[in-house]
Amino acid sequence: MALEQICGVNRLPFMKRFNELQLEWQMEQLEQATSNFRNPYALSAPPFEQPAENLPKLLAHCNIQMDFAHGTTTLGFIFRNGVILCADSRATSGQYIGSQTMKKIVELNDYMLGTLAGGAADCVYWDRVLARECRLHELRFKRRMTVDTAARRMCNISAEYKGMGLVMGMMLAGYDNDGPKLIYVDSEGMRSHANVFSVGSGSPYALGVLDTGYKWDITDQEAYDLARRAIYHATSKDAYSGGIVRLYHITEKGWKNVGNTDCWELHEQYSKEEQKREGGDHDQNQPCTSQTQPWIERKLIETQMEAQMVAATTETQDGTNRCLPATDWQLEVKLGTRESLAGKAQPQTLQERKQRNREAEK
């Protein structure tokens, strides 16, 4: 028996019973179906064709609602000192907030990062597979995997599982021998290079801020502030984005986590700056006239052209309605001049206003 085990004869098919072979085959199939450690690319497919098209039909026939909305905000841009990646941390399942602390920026190696957008399970799984491949590539070839190689590998995976319901849109950012790189890859197999990207449901709001403030030669601190401000504006307008704003900076020395800031702290910071820029007090709903004279003068200039078009409809002596130019009192109220804000006597009743308009008409 010992010699049989050493030679491996006991593992030959003709040395086993048929039920033992069948049980062994079933256990092997079950292990492959429930574990991806042997081959992470061999995922078990659903028992029907074209899952992306046929699954909604089956769910509608069974009256099961699984149409979950996907939402997030991630951004990245290249500037003179490297690459910036920034993302929120909210994970949603339809209208339900599943988590406020999800990590949407994944460390693939010491010089490359990836972001998550789309289905959380798809993105997390394939980012883990990509991190594994980066490590194996470094062990086999004694050099780091480049960003272009990682992006091509993700494109091949997306093309292989196209039509299977894969929902994924990720950015790969890193620093290799060719300098900083930023590549976008999605579940349709598309791969594109650019200096600025924003992915997710809040990306239109983030891109509005990036288009205004992005420049190639900005400093590190300006880049950090621009990324945080863009994510903050997206979280304030997109219900599927929020939580913690995570900021990463990639240079030729590797990546570093600049900071993790709560959205409420950013709201307090930027709202105070906005109120200060407008000339008002953060704790007051209305600006104080004694302290906001520059604000009044600026508003006076901004609304001067608009106030010239203001007209008042008044009733004349013959009973007809005429459209008349605005009176001095109406212009004062519209412009917010110093006298009207200081409490100048203003007509309150309808008869007083009509009398004032008749005098102005004459």
DSSP letter for each residue of 105-156: EEEEETTEEEE--B-HHHHHHHHHHHHHHHHHHHHHHSSPPPHHHHHHHHHH
pLDDT digits (tens, 9 = 90+) for 99-123: 888 999 999 999 999 999 988 888 8
**What is the Cα Rg of the chain in Å?**
32
Average pLDDT over residues 26-50: 66
Question: Tell me, what's the pLDDT at 140?
Answer: 92
Q: Which residue has the higher pLDDT, 280 or 134?
A: 134
In CATH, the number for domain 74-276 is 3.60.20.10
CA separation for the pair 239, 113 (Å, rounded): 26
Q: Which residue has the higher pLDDT, 167 or 324?
A: 167
Contacts of 153 (CB under 8 A, 6+ apart): 130, 133
Residue 304 has pLDDT above 80, yes or no: no
pLDDT digits (tens, 9 = 90+) for 50-100: 776 777 777 777 776 666 667 789 999 999 999 999 999 998 877 788 888
Average pLDDT over residues 311-337: 45
Q: Which two tokens stand for residue 124?
A: 């997390």
CA separation for the pair 170, 200 (Å, rounded): 10
- The CA-based diameter of the chain, rounded to the nearest angstrom, is 124
Supply angle C-alpha 129, 131, 135, rounded to 5.
115
CB 130 within 8 A of CB 150: yes
Any idea which residues carry the catalytic annotation?
A: 72
**Helix, coil or strand: residue 259:** strand
CB 76 within 8 A of CB 84: yes
CB 237 within 8 A of CB 88: no
CA separation for the pair 92, 73 (Å, rounded): 12
Residue 224 has pLDDT above 90, yes or no: yes
**Helix, coil or strand: residue 193:** strand
Question: Tell me, what's the pLDDT at 159?
Answer: 86
Average pLDDT over residues 140-160: 91
**Helix, coil or strand: residue 266:** helix
Q: Which residue has the higher pLDDT, 362 or 317?
A: 362
Average pLDDT over residues 297-326: 49
> Which pTM was predicted?
0.66
What integer best gives the mean pLDDT of the chain?
Answer: 76
Residue 348 has pLDDT above 60, yes or no: no
Q: Which residue has the higher pLDDT, 189 or 18?
A: 189
Q: How do the domains of the chain map onto residue ranges?
A: 74-276, 293-361
Confidence grade of residue 31 (pLDDT, cut at 50, 70, 90):
low
Residue 181 has pLDDT above 80, yes or no: yes
